[in-house]
């Protein structure tokens, strides 16, 4: 059909994808990968304990979970466009002022809590919902492209931030990251629209004829209010299925990647080789993110999620086999790298498939915080296993099993159960 190319998003559709990519880049720059450069400089400049400051990242993570409920309510009132832009502006301003100039541990913790709350909510509550609204059928490819922001960050942030500091000094050099976040937020408020119809586009950038023939125009009403409540979501089976699959993906991803350098050193790589392997894995992740997004669009979210879980589990098992031959280590770097972007894809796409573009924003205010808490357990798994066994092999085996369990859960889940695009009778019955 006309305008049905998987990558034909239109100019403003492409802006949304790039905006989402850049927002994710800002997220990892300010709160994850960028800490490799920022944390040592801040603690050295202000004589702070780096271990204490690093541990505040966990506190900020759980603070972010709590704030997501508050920000989710604000988003319902003012929309994804304004909320995402305001969150990027706040996080960028706090990064450039409070965080980079934190003279006390308390200020450092306050800055980190605000940034994590804002950037996580922007990415997982707002830009994901925007893409679900704009691209109900091309969501997989759109999200697959936008989530490369995390992989790009992993590949280029450390050298980029090092150059900025060398050229402009600290903290001015790193404040560029914060300024970029502010500019991005302003652009989002000015250019974006919550609904493609408000921007003069039809969903998925289809023609008017295709839209009127195949899309549910009644569901494109910008005044739609979801009838899902927190209580109803918590007592609905599909809510838990929607969060467990990406949660098991996420606990495996973070648990593996956060210790990937040390793990590969233990398997025979030098420190320099292991660090370089992370950059190689990040580049592979860009291709993997797009590939699994394409599979999502072409074959559906359910088969794509199952395929991803099996592939990722195989990648982890290949790394475990690295104990027997170094060739398995090198192969696992590519395979794990290919898996890097897929988790973020399905953290958005899987619950969006189950609840549909209309109810995904509301459902995700419950799904993502619980999902995040499960993912955060990777630190406990790694610590306990490493203490008991002296290596991470058993932890990696646990993650591989969880990925296979996620594949089984996905296999037996109705992946469009509450999706009103697929089941318009739900709209008639419930509204």
Check whether residue 267 and residue 199 sit in a common domain: no
Please give the mean pLDDT across all residues of the chain: 88
CA dihedral 135, 136, 139, 142 (to 10 degrees): 0
Sign of dihedral through CA atoms 236, 313, 250, 149? negative
Residue 416 falls inside a structural domain: no
Q: pLDDT tier at 3 (50, 70, 90 boundaries)?
A: very low
Each residue of 128-167: pLDDT tens digit? 889 988 988 888 888 888 888 877 887 788 788 989 999 9
Q: Where are the beta strands (DSSP E) in 105-210?
A: none
Q: Report the predicted TM-score, pTM, of the whole model to 2 decimal places.
A: 0.78
Check whether residue 41 and residue 100 sit in a common domain: yes
Residue 361 falls inside a structural domain: yes
Check whether residue 398 and residue 267 sit in a common domain: yes
Nearest to 144 by CA among 24, 52, 62, 29: 24
For the chain, give the percent of residues with pLDDT over 70: 95
* Residue 302 domain boundaries: 230-411
Q: Which of 220, 242, 275 is the last residue of a domain?
A: 220
Model pLDDT, residue 361:
83
Nearest to 416 by CA among 238, 247, 211: 238
Each residue of 179-190: pLDDT tens digit? 999 999 999 999
3-state helix, strand, coil in the chain (%, to 5): 80, 0, 20
Tell how far CA 18 is from the center of its chain.
14
Check whether residue 213 and residue 239 sit in a common domain: no
Q: Cis omega (within 30 of 0) on the bond before 406?
A: no
Q: pLDDT tier at 2 (50, 70, 90 boundaries)?
A: very low
Check whether residue 334 and residue 389 sit in a common domain: yes
Provide the domain count of the chain.
Answer: 2
Interatomic CA distance for residues 257 and 263, integer angstroms: 9
Please, what is the Cα angle at 183 between 178 and 188, to 5 degrees?
Answer: 125
Each residue of 271-304: pLDDT tens digit? 888 878 888 888 888 888 889 988 998 899 999 9
Nearest to 10 by CA among 106, 134, 129: 134
Mean pLDDT of 354-365: 87
Interatomic CA distance for residues 371 and 322, integer angstroms: 30
Interatomic CA distance for residues 102 and 47, integer angstroms: 10
Cβ atoms of 108 and 47 closer than 8 Å? no
Residue 194's SS3 state is coil
Nearest to 319 by CA among 230, 238, 418, 395: 395
Q: Which of 189, 220, 251 is the last residue of a domain?
A: 220
Cβ atoms of 154 and 278 closer than 8 Å? yes
For 324, the token pair is 């027997």
Ordered DSSP codes for 269-284: --HHHHHHHHHHHHHH
Check whether residue 46 and residue 165 sit in a common domain: yes
Residue 206 falls inside a structural domain: yes
Check whether residue 173 and residue 33 sit in a common domain: yes
Check whether residue 123 and residue 257 sit in a common domain: no
Residue 429 falls inside a structural domain: no
Tell how far CA 142 is from the center of its chain.
13
Cβ atoms of 401 and 393 closer than 8 Å? no
Check whether residue 187 and residue 306 sit in a common domain: no
Residue 110 maps to which CATH number?
1.20.1250.20
Nearest to 151 by CA among 277, 18, 248, 278: 278
Each residue of 198-216: pLDDT tens digit? 998 888 888 888 887 777 5
Nearest to 33 by CA among 279, 252, 206: 279
Q: Which of 166, 200, 220 is the last residue of a domain?
A: 220
Check whether residue 239 and residue 215 sit in a common domain: no
């Amino acid at each position: 059909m006309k305008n049905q190319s998987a990558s034909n998003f239109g100019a403003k559709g492409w802006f949304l994808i790039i905006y989402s990519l850049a927002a994710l880049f800002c997220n990892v720059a300010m709160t994850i990968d960028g800490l490799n450069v920022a944390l040592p400089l801040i603690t050295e400049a202000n004589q702070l304990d780096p271990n204490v400051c690093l541990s505040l990242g966990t506190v900020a993570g759980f603070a972010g979970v709590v704030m997501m409920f508050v920000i989710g309510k604000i988003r319902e009132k003012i929309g994804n466009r304004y909320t995402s832009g305001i969150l990027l502006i706040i996080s960028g301003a706090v990064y450039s002022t409070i965080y980079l100039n934190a003279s006390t541990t308390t200020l450092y913790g306050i800055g980190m809590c605000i940034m994590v709350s804002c950037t996580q909510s922007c990415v997982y509550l707002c830009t994901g919902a925007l893409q679900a609204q704009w691209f109900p059928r091309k969501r997989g490819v759109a999200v697959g492209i936008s989530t490369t922001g995390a992989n790009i960050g992993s590949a280029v942030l450390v050298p980029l931030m090092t150059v900025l500091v060398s050229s402009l000094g600290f903290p001015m050099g790193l404040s560029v990251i914060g300024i970029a976040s502010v500019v991005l937020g302003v652009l989002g408020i000015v250019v974006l629209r919550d609904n493609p119809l408000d921007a003069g586009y039809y969903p998925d950038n289809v023609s008017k004829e295709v839209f009127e023939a195949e899309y549910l125009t009644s569901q494109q009403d910008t005044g739609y209010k979801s009838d899902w409540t927190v209580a109803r979501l918590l007592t609905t089976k599909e809510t838990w299925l929607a969060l467990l699959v990406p949660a098991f993906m996420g606990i495996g991803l973070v648990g593996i990647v956060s210790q990937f350098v040390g793990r590969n050193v233990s398997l025979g790589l030098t420190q320099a080789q292991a660090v370089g392997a992370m950059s190689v894995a990040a580049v592979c992740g860009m291709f993997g993110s797009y590939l699994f997004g394409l599979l999502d669009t072409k074959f559906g979210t359910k088969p794509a999620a199952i395929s991803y879980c099996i592939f990722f589990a195989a990648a982890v098992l290949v790394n475990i086999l690295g104990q027997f031959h170094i060739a398995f280590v090198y192969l696992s770097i590519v395979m794990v790298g290919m898996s890097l972007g897929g988790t973020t894809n399905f953290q958005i796409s899987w619950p969006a498939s189950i609840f549909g573009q209309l109810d995904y924003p509301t459902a995700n205010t419950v799904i993502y915080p619980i999902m995040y808490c499960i993912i955060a357990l990777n630190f406990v798994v790694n610590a306990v296993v490493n203490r008991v066994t002296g290596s991470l092999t058993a932890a990696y085996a646990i993650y591989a099993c969880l990925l296979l369990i996620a594949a089984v859960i996905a296999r037996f889940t109705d992946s469009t159960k509450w999706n009103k695009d697929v089941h318009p009778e739900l709209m008639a019955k419930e509204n």
